[in-house]
Structure 1
Amino acid sequence: MLPLHTQPRQDEVFSSWLVRLALENEIPVHTFYYSLLQYHGQIWTRDIDRHPPHELLDLIAQATGQKANALARLCLTSYEGRLYEKLPITGDAPWLMPAGIYHRIRKRPGMQFCPVCLSSDNFPYYRKLWRTSLAAMCDIHHCRLLEYCPSCQAPVAFHQHGMGRLKNLRSDAGRICHNCRYDFADCVIAVADVDTEILEGYAELLTTIKSDHLYYLDLTDGNEFLLFKGIRALVGGLGGRNGFRLRSVLSALLQIPLVPEVGKDFEYQSVQFRMYLMLCVVWLLKGWPERFCEVCAEANFTRSRFSEIYNELPFWISSVVDVRLNLGSTHHSYEEIDSAIKYLSMREGSICWQSLGMLMGLKRDSAKSALNLWLRRGGRG
């Protein structure tokens, strides 16, 4: 066992804890793992938060007394079935900030941080939530997260503190820039100038990710994967090339700028844009689906505009898009559609979109969408 086997903190990410283990024992990071734990595999030349090698996990468990399930909760695989279905070993994944790893260097901001949180920590540590693009605001302090050192614009690479000639083994090393030694406690924080209810709603959404027992709103009957899959589709649609008119309407309504970098996925957008867009999405979700439909109507945004991402939409969104956003269609509730189909079934014995459209006065696309809605809700034709 180690002289000091510090415990993981709340929501701490695996790589942060690895560094703290070494620094709190006052041992350089490379020496700690290569010589003391006798682990000779790669650690910092890969995204160790994704799928850490079993050999490394076993050695750490023996040295610290931590159980395997406790170590698994520190890794990004713990979000499987919630933020993404399955986390690939390498490559892009929904909601995951790309780190741009080149040897031990980080070319992209794969880790964000809240300077207030780091300043408040006795021994600064990095949260697992900060590795996600979903989190662009601190759920505790409601300030915008930072992606780069504000002094030298270097991405966060806290593992570098325990390496090289200029290694820093101090207890506050986690809040110091590895490149220029700027103290993140001196960062200027920014809070979005929006309604407090929207900020609190965003913080509530982020809090549910950190908890295994909380659920956000009541849109998917507690199925978090479908919830976050839908939110990812919304930010993709709003931030994409077809979302300009929606962004214009939302920007005017909420008085916030929405200017994305053209051609970039949500995970590659700036933290400022991601925060503003997520605030818009939270506002839409708080009044779902009425607010969404009203904004789409004002922007003249119809079902066809979702064609590029339609297959990615979970039912709680596609059902609204199918029935409420069909150009020229009259909105009918599921109950009305169900009644019409039961009538046709008794009268004709079979159901098709043509007969449903004739009965309800729907055009072709609307009739097909209505029948599709009924089938997806468990109807049988």
Structure 2
Amino acid sequence: MSASHSALVPEWLTAPAEANELVASVWPSSAHRVDDGSVEIAGVSVFDLRDRFGTPLYVLDEDEVRAHARRARDAFGAAAERHGIRSHVYYAGKAFLSTEVVRWVTEEGLAVDVCTRGELEVALAGGADPARLGFHGNNKSVAELERAVEVGIGSVVVDSPIEIERLAAIADRRGAVQSVLVRVRTGVHAETHAFLATAHEDQKFGFSLAGAADAVARIRELPSLRFVGLHAHIGSQIFDSAGFRESAARLVDLHADLLAGGEIPLLNVGGGFGISYTSVDDPRPIEEIADGIVDAIADECEVRGIPMPDVACEPGRVIVGQAGVTLYEVGTVKKVTIGEERERTYVSV
């Protein structure tokens, strides 16, 4: 390969020793090649799937989704149990949501996090208990908030002062008391792509640390709202717990200050746990991440001499990402000459 040609290729992309090898960390564990060179997933041929459903087709291995859901549930459950608290694991619907996925993850003991009216309706249609749903989003419509309160949603993560007032008015009209969390920007940057880091100050989500205290004070003045905890999300495709540790220190600081106004049963650390998209990605095991996050919160609470709240998290892609593949069929193959020495091949699907 010439130097000019190699400039078109990512540094990590090297020719495999065996062209037909499936990278174990990227593919579902049930995926394997059969004698004719094709692939089976959970014992089903991709050709049979194509013939039945056409392409493009997104395929999920149910057993693997369920296994990842149980693993996340057990990892955070064990980490929390060591400190005498409970954990709450929400499947992040933004990763991939369908009624079947809702059924799988809820049967495995997970709650579900939704971000739109559509996701809320899918979760309900999939049999999710409304009391085990959380509603996110930085620009929830009045209609979405109305529907959330109507169905008895477990919690709403409020994101702005105007949303607090809107939600309080809706709950008051309905004679309800709505549980809410306050989303906080901790200022911690995840070790990830800049566009995926969501806790720095110049972005659309949540309140600053100082603004969050004011938001909580306002919520506590409103009889139709009940403040149950803080929420922070530091990014996506995060491979370890280092960023969560620093975020936990800042969250627990604020949590400790707010305890003077009443009990706070929950601390939600968000999610964003990464998966292997390529052969060189190396995310830490979910058990290691869970231990790191929960231990960090425990340490910060101990330093401040305050009781440790229950811990919630929202893993999404780590549950469905590796369990899924997309089937495409090649339509055209075209070689394009670039200058005098380089050529790129386009494969269209």
Task: Tell me: higher relative CO, structure 1 or 2? Use CA pairs within 8 A at least 6 residues apart.
Answer: 2
Q: The TM-score by the shorter chain falls in which range?
A: under 0.3
Q: Which one has the bigger strand percentage?
A: 2
TM-score between the two structures when normalised by the length of structure 2 = 0.27
Q: Which one has the bigger helix percentage?
A: 1
Give the number of the structure whose alpha-carbon radius of gyration is greater: 1
TM-score between the two structures when normalised by the length of structure 1 = 0.25
